[in-house]
Amino acid sequence: MYEIFQLIHKALFFVVMILGLAVLAKAAMGLSSKTAFAETDRKLGLFFMISNHTQLLIGLVLYLFLSPFGLNAINGLGMSAVMKNPEYRQIAVEHITTNLIAIILITIGYSINKRAFGDVVKHKNALIFYGLGLVLLLSRIPWDKLF
């Protein structure tokens, strides 16, 4: 069961990255050319947010119930032992905390754009919030375990 969820989590990572890069490219082009914030821009942001929320749910299942690096490891080893082990700390603490902050930023960016007025403002919000979220996501990916 762990391997199936881990495979889904890894595969969805690529969907998240493609959508993230696409939404940033559209926002940067829209901001530089001062084009209208179209329905496709809104939907791209929505799909980016939904894919991140789905990734979070799968990650929480892994963390809370299935992973040897998640909550089971913390409970079995104790927090001080987890913090002393770089591999455990990266997955059990840094990965989940940083990615949760990233998803919050992405969600805030989408929510702000639902109420924002002006195309330039919406493109700028997308670029800032989605960009910060994507940078945080990329900063805590366990690249050695991805492939």
Residue boundaries of the structural domains of the chain: 2-146
When comparing pLDDT for 84 and 31, which is higher? 31
List the one residue out of 49, 59, 33, 50 whose CA is nearest residue 126.
Answer: 49
What is the rounded CA–CA span in Å between residue 46 and residue 53? 11
What is the rounded CA–CA span in Å between residue 7 and residue 4? 5
List the one residue out of 100, 87, 54, 92 whose CA is nearest residue 74.
Answer: 92
**pLDDT tens sequence across 86-131:** 888 888 889 999 999 999 999 999 999 999 999 999 999 999 999 9
What is the rounded CA–CA span in Å between residue 1 and residue 96? 20
**pLDDT tens sequence across 37-96:** 999 999 999 999 999 999 999 999 988 888 776 676 666 777 778 788 888 888 888 999
What is the rounded CA–CA span in Å between residue 111 and residue 42? 11
List the one residue out of 44, 60, 78 whose CA is nearest residue 9.
Answer: 60
Q: Where are the alpha helices (DSSP H) in 90-130?
A: 96-115, 119-125
Please classify residue 128 by burial: count the beta carbons closer than 10 Å to its beta carbon, then call 0-12 exposed, 13-18 middle and 19+ buried: middle
List the one residue out of 18, 38, 28, 50 whose CA is nearest residue 134.
Answer: 18
> pTM for the full model?
0.89
Q: Band of the pLDDT at 135, cuts 50, 70, 90?
A: very high
